[in-house]
Structure 1
């Protein structure tokens, strides 16, 4: 993104606002900076009210559809970006989305966990343009904290 068209401005143009977040309370951090890389810990599909909606709790492939999982992954990405802003002070310091990782609470026979994770991937490219294109891993898991259907983590290069 150029200074003339910042990430912060792009979020506003898209009608998106980031949730308020704080440092983690456990023996880990919600983000870690190493050199010019920012690692953001896995974030759940928490809505503006700070809770996971019932429609985003459960397994994708039975209780949750892939399209509902896609929307939940977008909420996760907003949480990731909120922690990136907490770490850096401004998202305009982000230069590149290097990697997104997704954990999908999936039925054992679900062969397309990436369909839900596309919500996060598509959104970061929509926000950051070409610099939002990233490597990615998506893994189906048996369960996630609080019954969430998806969790997303990110790695970013920044200035």
Structure 2
């Protein structure tokens, strides 16, 4: 019994060190991911609006840090796995803009809502599997605070033929 309790304590300590004690940026680095510097908006809007303790993030497409992106239509040009990676890239863009707005991603209290839009053919039905690329990353980085309400929808087209665009609402510390 004593060995079981000791193992349980060690397991809890390791778990909390990896999830609670580690910064969001350290978790990103550990996964080999980086946040690009946010780009300027291309029209008359901003990437993030903060009102009170909520931050509303504009749609972010599937761009890489080097400026290239995942483009094409799910169900025609891209696989679900490629779409998943596209949604993950969109999530990294969202986090980059969020960091620019609040200064420190550790100030996130909760990811509230995600809207994932998937550039897809009319017969494509795996939108949720694609948008999981964003949702899974949020939970990996923020733990239970990363679990959110979500919509995953298919659209006929996205700007510049990007595969995925994601919007997000986040609650942050005051």
Partner of 2:121: 107
Partner of 2:11: none
Distance apart, 1:12 and its partner CA: 2.1
- Aligned counterpart for 1:69 among listed residues 71, 78, 83: 83
**Whole-Å Cα distance in 1 between the matches of residues 156 and 39 of structure 2?**
28
**Whole-Å Cα distance in 2 between the matches of residues 25 and 39 of structure 1?**
17
**Partners of 1:22 and 1:86 within 8 A in 2:** no
Distance apart, 1:150 and its partner CA: 0.6
Partner of 1:31: 48
- Structure whose alpha-carbon radius of gyration is higher: 2
Instruction: Report whether the alignment pairs 1:121 with 2:138.
Output: no
Count of residue pairs brought into register by the alignment: 155
Q: TM-score, normalised by structure 1?
A: 0.92
**Partners of 1:101 and 1:152 within 8 A in 2:** yes
Distance apart, 1:41 and its partner CA: 0.5
**Whole-Å Cα distance in 2 between the matches of residues 34 and 22 of structure 1?**
22
- 1:45-64 matches, within 5 Å, as 45-52=62-69, 56-64=70-78
Q: Deviations over 1:114-148 (max 9, x none)?
A: 11111111111011111100000111100001100
SS of 1:32's partner is: strand
**Partners of 2:34 and 2:65 within 8 A in 1:** no
